[in-house]
Chain A
Amino acid sequence: MSIETATRRPVVRSGIASFFLPGLGQFLLGERYRGGGILLGFVVMLGTTVWYGKPLWYAAPILIWLWNIWDAISLANGRARSILLPLLFGLAAAYGIGWQVVEIDFSKANMDRALAILRPMTRPDFVQPRREVNQMWVPVQVPCSSQPPAARREDAGRAAMVIPDCGGVGETLIVNVTGMWADAETNVFWQNPIGNPLMLGEGEITMLTLTTDENGSLTTTIRVPSTALVAAPDPTLPQFHRVYFEQYRPTGGYELSFIGNEVLKGALATVSMALMATGLAMLFAIPLSFLAARNLMSGNPVTYAVYVAVRTLLNILRSIESLIIAIIFVVIVGLGPFAGMLALALHSVAALGKLYSEVIEGIDPGPIEAIRATGANWLQVVRYAVIPQIIPPFTAFTIYRWDINVRSATVIGLVGGGGIGFLLIELIRVNNMRGVSAVFIAIAFIVIVLDYVSAKLRERLV
């Protein structure tokens, strides 16, 4: 009889305790982590449910609560239930909530659009066949003055003319050119006085492309583009516009395309940004790391306070992504790689400072004692016992950081921090997927190569 009451009491007690506060029963039975975990899980679940306020979701915290009571009773009876069940349930509930919160909707994944994006990406715009140009132009006055000069021009055996010599917007002109390459595709386009090209093809949005005859001449009619005078300060003032004829032909071999060139520049900027940032960060992190090393600073209360302050600062700084810091620097110094570099540097100071200080904390006290025993002063101890120990790991960590910074530098451009990321965002904005593909290849190349190089360098150091 007495045994029965002795065992029954904690059962009832823990059940009731857990009824009122999830986890309390387990806690009272000595399972502190279990109790705490259950309470935390319950509170998080309840909080989420209350926050989103959908009635059905209340089932989740209620189920956890019920399980918790059952668990407390089983525990009091000496049977520990597996924590796996509520863990899986919690995960499932989190999934249910998360699915809606993150707006996951695979029906939005339009495969046609994906293909339209991917198809041009199979042909990265990096190089193009080397080619030469044959360009000719002729001036034409728009709108007409009382005595327009002749709209004809000769140059290097080629001649071009427009009939009549001038025209107004929307009027039809006859253009003729001779002495171009024979049987070659020729682009004909308009250029306004400030140098902007205007297209003459269908609807003024396509290029007018024609083929020259066997003598290299070409005649066609064009209309003065409707936008020819948009940029003019005074549309009634006659000005000289130009009609251009342009032919290309491959000369064999390949050359960097315009985008390819930009990608190379961006890649260089990215690697440089990372290098500068790492170097700059190293300069600041080294002194800071000594202040953040516990073994050097825990001597007296003043230095200890400095240690705590520096540590806290580094920790806060480290948890702010360089991307966020970049936004601030973009506001301060403007768009460009300089802002990105500063952001990377600031973040790296924190990261390197922590790594360095851990190195300092981990150095072997033996040599220090030995050097001190020879009667050396503080500076000599640092020079002969500390520095030799920390140089290799410092260098290794710095190289490692450079590697990480290159990765981060690729994204810092996305918020205006310059480098290849900036190019990427610009290309996406104008829907140039061939260029995007070139950028992706370049990023993979830089990152993988630097990964390899840095691993090899670090291997040699340790």
Chain B
Amino acid sequence: MPTARILRNTLITALVIAAFAVSYRVTEADFPRLFLDLPKGKELLTAFLTPDVFTREVETRTVSLVFPIPCGSAPTEESLPSEGPRLVPSVLCAEPLEKFTLEGYDLQPNSEVVIRWRLPDGRTMTAIRTQTDANGYFTYEVQARPIQSTVDGVASRLEVDTLTPVGELKPSQALKDVLDNMFVTIFMALLSTTLATVIAAPLSFFAASNITRKGCLGTTVYYLFRSFFNLMRSYDPLVMATVFGFWLSFGPFPGFLALTVVTIASLGKLFSEAVENIDPGPVEALQATGAPPLHTVRYGVVPQVVPDFISYIIYHWDINVRISTIIGFVGGGGIGYYLNLSINDFKWHQAGTAIWAIVIVVWAMDFLSSDIRKRLT
């Protein structure tokens, strides 16, 4: 016997190892790369840890100069000013990809500097962000735009914005937007949970074996509802939201619908289990009094399941707040949508604000729901 057991254990171990080996290949796991690339995450993380919450009003001043690429494609700046806010490049024109030094003098002191290219058609490309010192001086090595930028003899320009915070500290636009979107998220969760409750509560009785599974028709209905709940429950609301988003175009509405559908299934399942676990005695007693079937349910079943139902509803509200924070990633609106936008625009500080808001709300909901449920039981 022990040999059989050893054999079995070896087999199981081998299977587990094989499963992990396959998974390792399939997921293209590349841990060295993770460690090499980890510094990339540092910038992200520091941005997240310094969310954009308060701002001062910013005064923007711009200085610019003509800068043809490549040399000779357009006339260069004739002479550089020698006083006042001014830019001094080490060369007056450059070949594509050539590196040169750009200095700025007498700009706003201690300000954020944005260096960018303005192309002849008016579009801009940000090259770099840096900072001026106390004298309003900065220097930075800039790389010339990689492709020919002169069009019809009009050269591109180098522009430098200095952003100086002035005035009082006040809530930033990001904070306002985050709050705005957070409202959408919380309401999305509230509405979908309540709507799903109203629909799932009656439907759950059809999926409860002790109520419905009688006779041929009843059994069919029972299995129908049960499989419907099980099937729908297997989809993450985000997966649902992709299809709803495709149908209704993007916004909070499809996200709300997707969330509702999945919640109906999930609550329906939980509710039906609560109904199945009731004490059958009172139901029998009511049948014995000659009460009609609907009344048997109303007076015999409903009072027994109400506390369970409430507890499940609150639990699900908690989950739904969590999900509606991210449903925006697939076009569901709300804070997730905002976060997605911020990340796509590389606005990391703004994204940080959204992430913090999510953490706080999810945390608060978690606490609130477990507290209420504890009180209920």
Contact = CB atoms under 8 A, between A and B. Distances in A.
Interface of A: 48, 51-52, 91, 94-95, 97-99, 101-105, 108-110, 113-114, 117, 268-269, 271-273, 275-276, 279, 315-316, 319-321, 323-324, 327-328, 331-333, 336-338, 340-342, 407-408, 410-411, 414-415, 418, 421, 424-425, 428, 436, 440, 443-444, 447-448, 451
Interface SS majority for chain A = helix
A337 B27 contact: yes
Q: Is the interface of B mostly helix, strand, loop or mixed?
A: helix
A103 B253 contact: yes
A413 to B, nearest CB: 10
Contact of A414 (B242, B343, B363): B242
Contacts, number: 169
Nearest to A275: B23
B93 to A, nearest CB: 29
B28 A338 contact: yes
Contact of B40 (A332, A440, A444): A332
B19 A414 contact: no
Contact of A51 (B183, B330, B333): B183
Contact of A319 (B44, B251, B362): B362
5 contacts: A98-B188, A102-B184, A104-B191, A328-B44, A338-B30
B156 to A, nearest CB: 27
Interface of B: 19-20, 22-24, 26-30, 33-34, 37-38, 40-41, 44-45, 179-180, 183-184, 187-188, 190-191, 194, 230-231, 234-236, 238-239, 242-243, 246-249, 251-253, 256, 322, 325-326, 329-330, 333, 339-340, 343, 355, 358-359, 362-363, 366
Contacts of A340: 27
Contacts of B249: 108
Given A275-B19, A443-B235, A447-B234, 18 more contacts: A51-B180, A97-B187, A102-B191, A268-B26, A269-B27, A319-B366, A320-B359, A321-B325, A321-B326, A327-B339, A332-B44, A341-B27, A410-B239, A418-B27, A418-B28, A424-B239, A428-B243, A447-B235
B372 to A, nearest CB: 11
Contacts of A428: 242-243, 246
Contacts of B34: 332-333, 338, 342
A117 B27 contact: no
Contacts of B252: 101-103
Contact of B26 (A269, A319, A444): A269
A315 B370 CA distance: 14
B248 A336 contact: no
Contacts of A421: 238-239
A316 B246 contact: no
Given A101-B184, A407-B236, A436-B243, A323 B28 contact: no
A328 B19 CA distance: 27
